[in-house]
């Protein structure tokens, strides 16, 4: 794969742009189409493209599997923590009015951002973990057996 210089350079440039677009979709999901799930998939695509071009071992150096698993747990914790926080303040689970009782619309905005952030983190971790699971398997048939 070392002889594909143009592909390698373009991939490095493209991964940054893909991540930037994922952040855009994440933080503008309540104003336009998108949100946590879409942003999580787009962010995972950046790492998957990097792994396809440079190899799964290289992407594991950049984004280690132990960190991917921690991200999955962190995303679920952020999502559930948002609901538990609203219950702690005396509101219902995921009742966003708890985040700003004086201005429920501001609380709605902040609560949605927190929940969508948790979803985005979880989806990124799960998609990359699925890619690692499939890409790390040893081949069952050799190239010469075709």
pLDDT at 4: 82
pLDDT tens column, 35-61: 889 999 999 999 999 999 999 999 999
pLDDT tens column, 78-93: 999 999 999 998 888 8
Containing structural domain, residue 59: 5-145
**On the CB side of 90, how many CA atoms lie within 13 Å of its CA?**
2
Count the domains in the chain. Answer: 1
Q: What is the pTM of this model?
A: 0.86
Share of the chain above pLDDT 90, in %: 60
Q: What are the φ and ψ backbone dihedral angles of 90, each rounded to 5 degrees?
A: 95, 10
pLDDT band at residue 67 under the 50/70/90 scheme: very high
How far apart (Å, rounded) are the C-alpha atoms in residues 50 and 105? 40
């Amino acid at each position: 794969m070392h002889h594909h210089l143009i592909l390698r350079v373009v991939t490095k440039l493209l991964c940054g742009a893909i991540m930037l677009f994922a952040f855009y979709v994440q933080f503008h999901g309540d104003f336009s189409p998108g949100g946590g799930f879409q942003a999580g998939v787009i962010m995972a695509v950046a790492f998957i493209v990097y792994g396809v071009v440079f190899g799964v071992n290289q992407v594991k150096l950049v984004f280690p599997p132990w960190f991917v698993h921690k991200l999955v747990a962190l995303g679920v914790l952020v999502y559930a923590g948002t609901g538990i926080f609203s219950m702690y303040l005396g509101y219902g689970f995921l009742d966003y009015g708890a985040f700003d009782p004086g201005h429920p619309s501001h609380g709605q905005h902040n609560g949605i951002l927190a929940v969508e952030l948790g979803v985005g983190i979880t989806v990124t971790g799960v998609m990359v973990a699925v890619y690692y699971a499939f890409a790390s398997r040893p081949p069952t048939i050799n190239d010469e057996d075709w």
